[in-house]
């Protein structure tokens, strides 16, 4: 590039007068890309570092093992090559090599050089340990590789011993640490109540059915059975698999057990089945029957000891034995009746016959048959003539469990069926292996408060809202039934509703109707869902306090003092302790006003207060009175209320405020006025569209201990918490938004917190050190406009005041996000505008001054720099295309290309092609891909990424790029960012063309058409080495950007290509376009009102000057094209350019004549129409004559139209910037009409392809599949939803 630049500066081939512009055109895109390079490298490095840290923290442990197995061969080849090159010796090769990670050991096996000496270090720590086991493991876990070494050593010794021994030796070896058995039953008994409460909560939330609840629940492990009993879903189908192995076995007993033991849960299932059958048979029989049971088990045990089990038993008869016993347990599960008692006795006798005569070997069978005691009882008819029906709760539970174990054949991979339930359980169980501080007792834990701001969003869906149909005939309830069909069936099962199609049944039953309202509300982004989730904290503390108060979570716990956890919610001691440690404050700013006007939201909030005794509601109360002099007096109070024993609102506190607290956007004041009512040492800020889960609430004590953990020089002041976006399954757009958000709140914040130390508070659900922030300005800044993104300023404030912000991923909180394109665009517009205001804030200035260089750069590229680089991506396209168009107009591009060829320089081609790679956005997708790999595994990550591409995620992210650029750039130029309400409802309705046009016209459509104009001009007049193929490759990403920006809103619009909707959209759009504005008419109804609203951001002289400078670029087209016309030849006279302006003025006058409405001239309408007709024919004849008699060509006419369109838009932009001047000249009405024509033309350019695609029915079908693919995979009948097929409506 330098050599080419020198050639340009020294050349005299006709372009020396334009050296500066030529060099700027060449170097502009290169410099823009280099400015972005640091951000690209940060993106790549953050993905790699975040992946390593996540793997070290044991995120997705099973996925990490798969990842390690894929990585190991490549690493070992590198080590092998180093050995072949003699850089390392054989011993070093062994230490550096990585195991294949494909064996049975359930751990990631690292190279030995990372683990060497760690075992001896761990032994030294153990020898010096004077504390508890938990303290010892905490010290070992500080070194990740020491922890890995201890675990691998333990399980490897077990595996080796099992392979070396059999018989008594094998029994001596502990299986997965399960011996001594009593100790492990203690741990299982401690864990079981918590696990079962989690499963119970999943059933209450209707994620699982009753059958799945039975399979997922864990026995109490406090009974007589000397084994640890695992949840049945882990053991289901294992018995049948073991029987298959037994039937195929041709070797010894040891070989059979070795094969069974390869699957730990199969071994557990076999052992539990064996001993449970014995326990049940003993409880059912007495006398001779019990002696038979004892004899059979004694003989089998002796055979096992001698290793002759395959000789003693006829294993081919095992399926028959299992079927007989399953038939008997099926009867014993029911309540006792005389008929069932006889049937069970008969089934037991048949079981005896099968075991004695079929299962046992012939010699043993004959011995038992001729056994005097048994033969006499059989001959007298007393053998199993009656049985003891199970009455002991333990035996009854064991009968039911064994029946399910022998009867259920579902694989554990399919239980539970609900994907959300499976995800939650998977995350919870995996998080238990992650590093977290030990939890203190409830009485010693850090007290905390949860804090939620609420304004006027939906609290609880009413019956009318659920049944109200939209324009397509689809109700919210019908939509939810189709989106969540399994959860709907589980809900009906839970409330014992037998008629799923009976709407009257719900109307008649008040209780069922209320349950229905809650069921629907728990699937939306409602306050009811948030309150339910946050109250899980109290439920978890109740259970933990109850268990602790009875000594059930202590080291000296034994099965002898075990009690179940039923009724823990009624324990006064546990309730008092939980209330001391937890409270929940919802700041409902206008709750008082809602009560006064008897709004349904007030009644719903009162209902939530009645159902949740730990819930408190804060609100602002206004009292109006008349002063002594008759003037109106207003007094503001901040009040806190709860529900009393009668369900009425009981005022707890009332604080008089100095005045109206609302100073800014509203939400910060909503938090600030109520924060005084919070209690404890910590505050968790929760937004109104969040959720929580019981299994995560159980870990809150561990999270709060992070305040007392070592996180560097300063203790933490804000604990960042991972979020899960629960709206990702609604549609493809929701999935894109969910993945984008998940990538940031996991991998992104993981790197920001450690090692960069620049993590901020990006929103809820972070946990604040309450004392620290109350004494340092609070958690919300309330200045209008500048603090529109109030969340991040809490992070700025904490960092500036010597705080420390950390991030923790072993606990998660649910989060709802926008699910429609318009909602997403409004949200991103709000965030981008807020970030633009941050650039102007003193907080960012102070942080930039206080940080060192590296921390400052890390902060820049993760906050304001991210949006600047996003904007730079779009500006790179503009700089590149405007530079190429300038070179094309000046004719220099061909000369420069030839000079580069003579110099054999490839720098020019590299500079031209670099923008292609940047625009594709491959690098920006790296963190998302790494997150997929880390948590899903490599294969699932690749599959998920391919699915997203097929769903056109690239179109969505390119469209999102335009949204961020527009609102961030507008805020930088003019300021004035504002809050944009997005709405949190379900989006299945069709968005009208006019609504999309209003929202995206200035942010996407104009810019997309401008880029398209640049590409057309470049294609028409530019020189491209390689011809059309090179042009396509060079501009492919730019054309993709154009298509994404112009048609993205219609691609992702439900029923966007349905013909009837298209016709209706056209009528609506033309009505809106032609409707006159006026006082009180909003932009949604009139184009004129909307056009006036779109200019409101230009308020300052600085803004007008900047808009003027930016608008000058549109005049380049006319200046360049006019000298490229065939009519002008090779002339470069300035008079030609002046003449083009005269032509433009004539065109404007002709337009004015045609724009005059004859209705305004009632006296001579006929003359006006005649004159306009003659003028039209004369204009057409003049063009024909000019083409025939001059050098004007048809292509010149089209080129002139392109030039004049750009110039006209430039004039409109200038007129809007200097509105007052234009209005004073009396030209404003004409300018508005010209603008209307431009909007009509742009609308037609966009609408025409949509209308053409609507002709083909398969396009609409494909679009529905594209938008709702996730819902389709779960049985969504989206075609019925979009068509409003009321015949299929269930309620």
Per-residue pLDDT tens digits for 814-858: 988 877 788 888 888 888 888 888 888 888 889 988 888 888 888
- Residue 1083 has a pLDDT of 79
Return the HEC string of 208-254: CCHHHHHHHCCCCCCCCCCCCCCCHHHHCCHHHHHHHHHHHCCCCHH
How far, in Å, are 39, 114, 562, 1264 from residue 35 at the CA level?
A: 8, 39, 66, 41
Q: List pLDDT tens digits, range 497-545.
A: 776 555 556 776 788 888 899 999 998 889 999 999 999 999 999 998 8
User: Is the predicted pLDDT of residue 707 greater than 80, yes or no?
Assistant: yes
Cross-strand bridge partners of residue 848: none
Are residues 980 and 830 in contact, defined by beta-carbon separation less than 8 angstroms? Answer: yes
Tokens of 790: 């109030």
- Residue 536 has a pLDDT of 93
Tokens 């912000």 sit on residue: 805
User: Is the predicted pLDDT of residue 393 greater than 90, yes or no?
Assistant: no
How far, in Å, are 406, 636, 637, 814, 889 from residue 626 at the CA level?
A: 80, 14, 17, 48, 75
Q: List pLDDT tens digits, range 334-389.
A: 888 888 888 888 888 888 888 888 888 777 777 766 566 767 766 766 677 777 88
Out of 80-89, 431-440, 738-747, 925-934, the most confident range is 431-440
- Residues found in the chain: 1291
Q: List pLDDT tens digits, range 987-1041.
A: 567 888 999 999 999 889 999 999 999 988 888 887 766 666 667 777 788 888 8
Percent of the chain with pLDDT over 70: 83
User: Is the predicted pLDDT of residue 15 greater than 50, yes or no?
Assistant: no
Give the H or E element holding residue 971. Answer: helix 953-974
Cα–Cα dist 1000/790, whole Å: 26
Residue 166 has phi, psi (to 5 degrees) of -155, 175
Closest by CA position to 954, among listed 835, 875, 1036: 1036
Give the H or E element holding residue 1135. Answer: helix 1134-1155
Cross-strand bridge partners of residue 948: none
Provide the pLDDT confidence category of residue 694 given band limits of 50, 70 and 90.
very high
Closest by CA position to 716, among listed 791, 779, 770, 776: 770
Tokens 């000057």 sit on residue: 1105
Tokens of 879: 């700089």
Helix (H, G, I), strand (E, B) or coil at 269: helix
Cα–Cα dist 406/269, whole Å: 10
Q: List pLDDT tens digits, range 165-214.
A: 665 555 555 544 444 444 566 777 888 888 889 999 999 999 999 888 88
Q: What is the pLDDT of the chain when averaged over all its residues?
A: 80
Provide the pLDDT confidence category of residue 1275 given band limits of 50, 70 and 90.
very low
Helix (H, G, I), strand (E, B) or coil at 636: strand
Alpha carbon 227 to its chain centroid, in Å, reads 40
User: Is the predicted pLDDT of residue 871 greater than 80, yes or no?
Assistant: yes
Cross-strand bridge partners of residue 685: 451
CA angle, 963 then 966 then 967, to 5°: 85
Closest by CA position to 491, among listed 535, 521, 470: 521
pTM: 0.82
Tokens of 543: 């259970």
Rounded average pLDDT over 1049-1060:
86
Alpha carbon 98 to its chain centroid, in Å, reads 34
Return the HEC string of 453-493: EECCCCCCCCHHHHHCECCCCCEHHHHHHHHCHHHHHHHHH
Cα–Cα dist 569/441, whole Å: 18
- Residue 698 has a pLDDT of 92
CA angle, 563 then 565 then 571, to 5°: 105
Helix (H, G, I), strand (E, B) or coil at 1057: coil
Residue predicted with more confidence, 541 or 255: 541
Cα–Cα dist 1203/1141, whole Å: 11
User: Is the predicted pLDDT of residue 450 greater than 70, yes or no?
Assistant: yes
Residue 632 has phi, psi (to 5 degrees) of -70, 135
How far, in Å, are 483, 508, 518 from residue 513 at the CA level?
A: 20, 8, 9
Cross-strand bridge partners of residue 623: 635
Closest by CA position to 409, among listed 189, 238, 615: 238
Are residues 93 and 86 in contact, defined by beta-carbon separation less than 8 angstroms? Answer: no
Give the H or E element holding residue 641. Answer: strand 632-643
Residue predicted with more confidence, 522 or 948: 522
Are residues 611 and 530 in contact, defined by beta-carbon separation less than 8 angstroms? Answer: no
Percent of the chain with pLDDT over 90: 12
- Residue 1156 has a pLDDT of 58
Tokens of 271: 């052992």
Helix (H, G, I), strand (E, B) or coil at 590: coil
182: burial class by Cβ within 10 Å (0-12, 13-18, 19+)?
A: exposed
Tokens of 209: 């059915």
Cα–Cα dist 823/1285, whole Å: 26
Q: List pLDDT tens digits, range 303-337.
A: 888 888 888 888 888 888 888 888 888 888 888 88
Which range (247-261, 639-653, 1204-1218, 1229-1243) has the least confidence?
Answer: 247-261
Are residues 1206 and 1180 in contact, defined by beta-carbon separation less than 8 angstroms? Answer: no
């Amino acid at each position: 590039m330098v050599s080419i630049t020198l050639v340009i500066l020294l050349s005299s081939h006709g372009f020396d007068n334009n050296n500066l512009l030529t060099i700027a055109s060449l170097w502009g895109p290169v410099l823009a890309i280099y400015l972005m390079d640091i951000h690209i490298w940060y993106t790549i490095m953050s993905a790699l570092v975040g992946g390593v840290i996540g793997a070290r923290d044991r995120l997705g442990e099973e996925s990490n093992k798969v990842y390690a197995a894929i990585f190991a061969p490549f690493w070992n080849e590198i080590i092998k090559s180093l050995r072949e090159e003699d850089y390392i010796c054989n011993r070093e090769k062994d230490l550096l090599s990585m195991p294949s990670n494909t064996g049975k050991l359930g751990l990631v096996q690292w190279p030995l050089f990372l683990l060497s000496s760690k075992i001896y270090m761990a032994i030294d720590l153990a020898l010096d340990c004077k504390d508890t086991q938990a303290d010892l493991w905490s010290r070992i876990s500080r070194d990740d590789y020491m922890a890995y070494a201890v675990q691998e050593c333990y399980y490897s010794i077990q595996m080796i011993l099992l392979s070396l021994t059999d018989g008594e030796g094998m029994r001596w070896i502990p299986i997965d640490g399960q011996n001594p058995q009593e100790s492990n039953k203690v741990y299982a008994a401690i864990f079981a109540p918590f696990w079962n409460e989690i499963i119970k909560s999943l059933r209450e939330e209707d994620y699982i059915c009753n059958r799945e609840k039975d399979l997922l629940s864990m026995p109490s492990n406090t009974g007589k059975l000397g084994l640890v009993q695992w949840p049945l879903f882990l053991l289901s189908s294992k018995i049948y698999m073991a029987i298959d192995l037994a039937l195929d076995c041709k070797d010894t007993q040891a070989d059979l057990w070795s094969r069974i033991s390869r699957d730990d849960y199969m071994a557990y299932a076999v052992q539990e089945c064996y001993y449970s059958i014995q326990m049940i048979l003993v409880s059912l029989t007495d006398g001779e029957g019990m002696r038979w049971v004892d004899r059979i088990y004694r003989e089998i045990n002796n055979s096992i000891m001698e290793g002759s089990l395959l000789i003693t038993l006829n294993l081919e008869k095992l399926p028959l034995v299992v079927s007989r016993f399953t038939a008997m347990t099926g009867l014993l599960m029911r309540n006792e009746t005389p008929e069932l008692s006889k049937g069970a006795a008969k089934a037991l006798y048949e079981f005896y016959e099968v075991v004695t005569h079929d299962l046992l070997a012939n010699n043993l069978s004959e011995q038992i048959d001729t056994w005097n005691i048994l033969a006499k009882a059989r001959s007298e008819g007393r053998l199993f003539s009656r049985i003891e029906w199970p009455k002991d709760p333990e035996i009854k539970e064991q009968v039911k469990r064994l029946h399910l174990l022998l009867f259920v054949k579902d694989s554990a991979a399919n239980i539970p069926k609900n994907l959300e339930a499976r995800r939650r359980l998977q995350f919870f169980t995996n998080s238990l292996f992650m590093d977290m501080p030990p939890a203190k007792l409830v009485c010693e834990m850090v007290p905390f408060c949860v804090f939620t701001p609420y304004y006027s969003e939906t609290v609880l869906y009413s019956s009318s809202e659920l049944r109200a149909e939209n324009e397509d005939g689809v109700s919210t309830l019908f939509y939810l039934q189709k989106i969540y069909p399994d959860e709907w069936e589980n809900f009906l099962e839970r409330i014992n509703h037998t008629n799923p199609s009976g709407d009257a049944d719900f109307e008649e039953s008040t209780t069922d109707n209320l349950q229905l309202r809650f069921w629907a509300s728990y699937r939306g982004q409602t306050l009811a869902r948030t309150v339910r989730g946050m109250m899980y904290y109290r439920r978890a503390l109740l259970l933990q306090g109850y268990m602790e108060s009875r000594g059930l979570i202590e080291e000296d716990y034994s099965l002898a003092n075990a009690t179940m956890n039923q009724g823990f919610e009624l324990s006064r001691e546990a309730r008092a302790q939980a209330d001391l440690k937890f409270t929940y404050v919802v700041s409902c700013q206008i709750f008082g006003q809602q009560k006064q006007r008897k709004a349904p939201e007030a009644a719903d909030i009162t209902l939530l207060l009645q159902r949740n005794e730990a819930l408190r509601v804060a609100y602002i109360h206004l009292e109006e009175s008349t002063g002594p002099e008759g003037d109106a007096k207003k007094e503001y109070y901040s009040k806190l209320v709860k529900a009393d024993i009668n369900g009425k609102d009981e005022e707890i506190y009332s604080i008089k405020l100095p005045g109206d607290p609302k100073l800014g956007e509203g939400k910060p004041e909503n938090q600030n006025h109520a924060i005084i009512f919070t209690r404890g040492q910590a505050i968790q800020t929760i937004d109104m569209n969040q959720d929580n889960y019981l299994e995560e609430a159980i870990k809150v004590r561990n999270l709060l201990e992070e305040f007392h953990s070592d996180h560097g020089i300063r203790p933490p002041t804000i604990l960042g918490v991972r979020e899960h976006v629960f709206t990702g399954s609604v549609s493809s757009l929701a999935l894109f938004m969910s993945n984008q958000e998940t990538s940031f709140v996991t991998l992104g914040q993981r790197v920001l917190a450690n090692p960069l130390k620049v993590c901020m508070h990006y929103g809820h659900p972070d946990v604040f050190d309450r004392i620290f922030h109350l004494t340092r300005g609070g958690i919300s800044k309330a200045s209008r406009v500048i603090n529109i993104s109030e969340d991040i300023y809490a992070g700025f404030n904490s960092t500036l005041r010597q705080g420390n912000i950390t991030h923790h991923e072993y606990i998660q909180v649910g989060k709802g996000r926008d699910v429609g394109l318009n909602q997403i665009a409004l949200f991103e517009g709000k965030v981008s505008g807020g970030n633009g205001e941050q650039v102007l804030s003193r907080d960012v200035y102070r942080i930039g001054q206080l940080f060192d260089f590296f921390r400052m750069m890390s902060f820049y590229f993760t906050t304001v720099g991210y949006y600047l680089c996003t904007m730079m991506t779009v500006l790179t396209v503009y700089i590149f295309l405007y530079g190429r168009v300038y070179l094309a107009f000046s004719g220099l591009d061909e000369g420069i290309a030839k000079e580069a060829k003579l110099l054999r320089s490839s720098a020019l081609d590299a500079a031209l092609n670099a923008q292609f790679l940047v625009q594709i956005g491959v690098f920006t997708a790296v963190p998302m891909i790494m997150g997929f790999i880390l948590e899903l595994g490599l294969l699932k990550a690749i599959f998920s990424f391919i699915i997203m591409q097929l769903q056109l995620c690239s179109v969505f992210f390119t469209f999102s790029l335009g949204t961020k650029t527009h609102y961030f750039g507008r805020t930088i130029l003019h300021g004035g960012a504002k809050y944009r309400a997005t709405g949190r409802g379900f989006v299945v309705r069709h968005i009208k063309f006019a609504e999309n046009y209003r929202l995206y016209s200035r942010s996407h459509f104009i810019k997309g058409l401008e880029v398209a104009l640049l590409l057309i001009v470049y294609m028409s007049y530019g020189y491209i080495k390689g011809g059309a193929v090179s042009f396509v490759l060079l501009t492919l990403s730019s054309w993709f950007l154009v298509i994404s920006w112009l048609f993205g809103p219609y691609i992702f619009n439900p029923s966007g290509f349905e013909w009837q909707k298209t016709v209706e959209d056209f009528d609506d759009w033309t009505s809106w376009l032609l409707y006159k504005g006026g006082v009180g008419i909003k932009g949604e109804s009139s184009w004129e009102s909307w056009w006036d609203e779109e200019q409101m951001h230009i308020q300052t002289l600085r803004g007008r000057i900047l808009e003027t400078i930016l608008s000058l670029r549109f005049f380049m087209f006319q200046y360049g094209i006019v000298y490229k016309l065939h009519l002008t030849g090779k002339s470069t006279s300035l008079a030609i350019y002046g003449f083009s302006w005269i032509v433009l003025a004539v065109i404007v006058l002709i337009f004015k004549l045609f724009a005059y409405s004859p209705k305004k001239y009632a006296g001579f309408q006929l003359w006006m129409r005649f004159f306009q007709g003659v003028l039209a024919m004369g204009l057409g004849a003049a063009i024909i004559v000019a083409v025939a008699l001059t050098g004007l060509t048809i292509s010149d006419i089209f080129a002139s139209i392109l030039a004049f369109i750009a110039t006209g838009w430039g004039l409109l932009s200038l007129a809007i910037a200097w509105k007052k001047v234009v209005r004073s000249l009396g030209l404003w009405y004409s300018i508005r009409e010209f603008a209307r024509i431009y909007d009509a033309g742009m609308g037609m350019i966009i609408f025409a392809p949509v209308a053409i695609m609507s002709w083909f029915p398969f396009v609409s079908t494909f679009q529905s599949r594209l938008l709702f693919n996730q819902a389709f995979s779960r049985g969504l009948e989206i075609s019925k939803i979009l068509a409003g097929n009321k015949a299929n409506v269930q309620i």
